[in-house]
Chain A
């Protein structure tokens, strides 16, 4: 049922999940180890480490969590901090031998914090490149169009590969940013899909990975669609169905979740496609009809 070629960065060690937050707040290391174990058993490829803002105040706890997770899982870790000081602590605590020499992931670097690439001197690592923003004339600018996203990616990848950071294309994960469809009045989900298509078609970017934070997409919606199917995971699957043929190969997601490639006549896939083709509030009206029958 799952999608064999899809790589999953297990997302659960993150205070965005209520159970994980309780463990982090309570310093429940063995609970966090259990989270690491169960995600590993369910077949994910990397484990996210995100202990929230405590990482910035309590480096000792951060190191404890990393060591505890590495004690129970052989998977490489993905350190989810757009922050140089925290990444330094993570990479120093990282023990390559426990992951059989596989590299961890620095999540994330963007043009707004390019000098963070220096942390790769600590240990060899892969990197996530955020494509939602760029630097222009010394100012941070959000990328608004698929072309802006794709050209920022092109520039970042070129700069990394040609500047001797010791990284190959296979070490790069490009994140185009995914926003909830539940509030997408600005066509941002369609934009992400179009950006993935442009990046996937760019011959200079061959071999890089494309990643999204997939769980963002289906949040703030009810659990069940009108056809009785589980709505959030079906919406996530619809996104995978539309983007994996164009190069998306990795998600920040929950291992064991029922991700699948949907048939063209699937109720949610069709509604999702129609929703993202619409503009403004029409998108939301279409999304609403995925879980609410029209009143007669």
Chain B
């Protein structure tokens, strides 16, 4: 019974049907389903959406709509997760680098990271390197995500990566992305990872943390 409901929850979130997702989450909570199992069903939904996105079976609107269903279901589950001592997989800090006011791509990645059950600290846009360092330290982040849309702010991205690497933040991984950013640029400036899209940013962050 419980198992079937969780499959339905995964499906409802995947389809972005938030009314159904919220109803099933409430049902699972009332049936005293272990919160970790409910959480796993939600994360499975977003993983599936990410995979379908990468092979053009779903598009950005569906991905965002699914993320909203996840968020609303998660809001119900969160108090139980806290009570059970279940924490996000790890914390990730994200922002657009200094001089760059664009935040659309960054927001999309933040949404997918939340959907993957990372704790996300979103610093917004036009973020100086010191602020990334301070936030990574304060929140004991395992990943920092840097976004840039302009070729003119790519040097700021490089400086931020250098500053993060020079700071005493053992094990911290830096992932970069944005329209002008390439894998080779990531290598060149010493970032740990590159993500071509929001779904890829989930895989990259997980892979880097797992390998750390």
| Interfacial residues, chain A to chain B (CB-CB below 8 A) | 15-16, 52-53, 55-56, 81-83, 132-133, 140, 142, 179-180, 182-183, 185, 220-222, 281, 284-285, 287-288, 291-292
Residue from the list A53, A56, A183 in contact with B60, Cβ < 8 A: A183
Q: Nearest residue in B to A54 (C-beta to C-beta)?
A: B151
Residues of chain A lying within 8 A (CB to CB) of residue B61: 182-183, 221, 284-285, 287-288
Give the contact stretch, choosing among B62-70, B114-122, B162-170, B203-211: B62-70
CB distance from B145 to the nearest CB of A (A): 17
Residue from the list B101, B152, B155, B180 in contact with A133, Cβ < 8 A: B101
Residue from the list A53, A55, A82, A140 in contact with B185, Cβ < 8 A: A53
Q: Are A53 and B180 in contact (CB under 8 A)?
A: yes
Residues of chain A lying within 8 A (CB to CB) of residue B126: 140
Assign chain B's interface to a size class: 20 to 34
CB distance from A245 to the nearest CB of B (A): 28
Q: Which 6 A-B pairs have the closest CB atoms?
A: A182-B60, A284-B61, A220-B60, A53-B151, A288-B61, A142-B101
Residues of chain B lying within 8 A (CB to CB) of residue A220: 59-60
Q: Determine the distance from Cα of A132 to Cα of B150 in the docked complex, in whole angstroms.
A: 14
CB distance from A114 to the nearest CB of B (A): 15
Q: Nearest residue in A to B99 (C-beta to C-beta)?
A: A140
Contacts A140-B101, A140-B126 given: A82-B152 contact, CB under 8 Å? yes
Residues of chain A lying within 8 A (CB to CB) of residue B99: 140
Q: Are A183 and B154 in contact (CB under 8 A)?
A: no
Residue from the list A81, A281, A292 in contact with B68, Cβ < 8 A: A281
Q: Could you show 22 A-B contacts with beta carbons less than 8 Å apart?
A: A15-B180, A56-B151, A81-B151, A81-B152, A82-B150, A142-B101, A142-B125, A182-B60, A183-B60, A183-B61, A183-B64, A183-B104, A185-B64, A220-B59, A221-B59, A221-B60, A222-B56, A222-B59, A281-B64, A281-B65, A288-B61, A292-B62
B108 within 8 A of A: yes
Residues of chain A lying within 8 A (CB to CB) of residue B84: none
What would 4 more interface pairs be, CB under 8 Å, given A56-B154, A81-B151, A81-B152? A185-B64, A220-B60, A284-B61, A292-B62
Contacts A183-B61, A281-B65, A284-B65 given: A53-B108 contact, CB under 8 Å? no
Q: Determine the distance from Cα of A55 to Cα of B56 in the docked complex, in whole angstroms.
A: 33
Number of A-B contacts (CB under 8 A): 59
Q: Nearest residue in A to B151 (C-beta to C-beta)?
A: A53
| Interfacial residues, chain B to chain A (CB-CB below 8 A) | 56, 59-62, 64-65, 68, 99, 101, 104, 108, 125-126, 150-152, 154-155, 179-180, 185
Residues of chain A lying within 8 A (CB to CB) of residue B179: 16
Q: Nearest residue in B to A51 (C-beta to C-beta)?
A: B151
Q: Determine the distance from Cα of A210 to Cα of B62 in the docked complex, in whole angstroms.
A: 32
Q: Nearest residue in B to A181 (C-beta to C-beta)?
A: B61
Residues of chain A lying within 8 A (CB to CB) of residue B60: 180, 182-183, 220-221
Q: Determine the distance from Cα of A104 to Cα of B56 in the docked complex, in whole angstroms.
A: 39
Q: Determine the distance from Cα of A81 to Cα of B180 in the docked complex, in whole angstroms.
A: 12
CB distance from B69 to the nearest CB of A (A): 10
Q: Determine the distance from Cα of A291 to Cα of B60 in the docked complex, in whole angstroms.
A: 12
Q: Determine the distance from Cα of A180 to Cα of B179 in the docked complex, in whole angstroms.
A: 13
Residues of chain B lying within 8 A (CB to CB) of residue A142: 101, 125
Q: Nearest residue in A to B98 (C-beta to C-beta)?
A: A140
Residues of chain A lying within 8 A (CB to CB) of residue B154: 53, 56
Q: Nearest residue in B to A275 (C-beta to C-beta)?
A: B61
Residues of chain A lying within 8 A (CB to CB) of residue B108: 183
Q: Nearest residue in B to A292 (C-beta to C-beta)?
A: B62
Q: Nearest residue in A to B179 (C-beta to C-beta)?
A: A16
Residues of chain A lying within 8 A (CB to CB) of residue B101: 132-133, 140, 142
Residues of chain A lying within 8 A (CB to CB) of residue B59: 182, 220-222, 288, 291
Q: Are B152 and A180 in contact (CB under 8 A)?
A: no
Q: Determine the distance from Cα of A255 to Cα of B64 in the docked complex, in whole angstroms.
A: 32
Residues of chain B lying within 8 A (CB to CB) of residue A182: 59-61
CB distance from A175 to the nearest CB of B (A): 14
CB distance from A89 to the nearest CB of B (A): 14
CB distance from B161 to the nearest CB of A (A): 15
Q: Are A288 and B65 in contact (CB under 8 A)?
A: yes
CB distance from A184 to the nearest CB of B (A): 9
CB distance from A80 to the nearest CB of B (A): 9
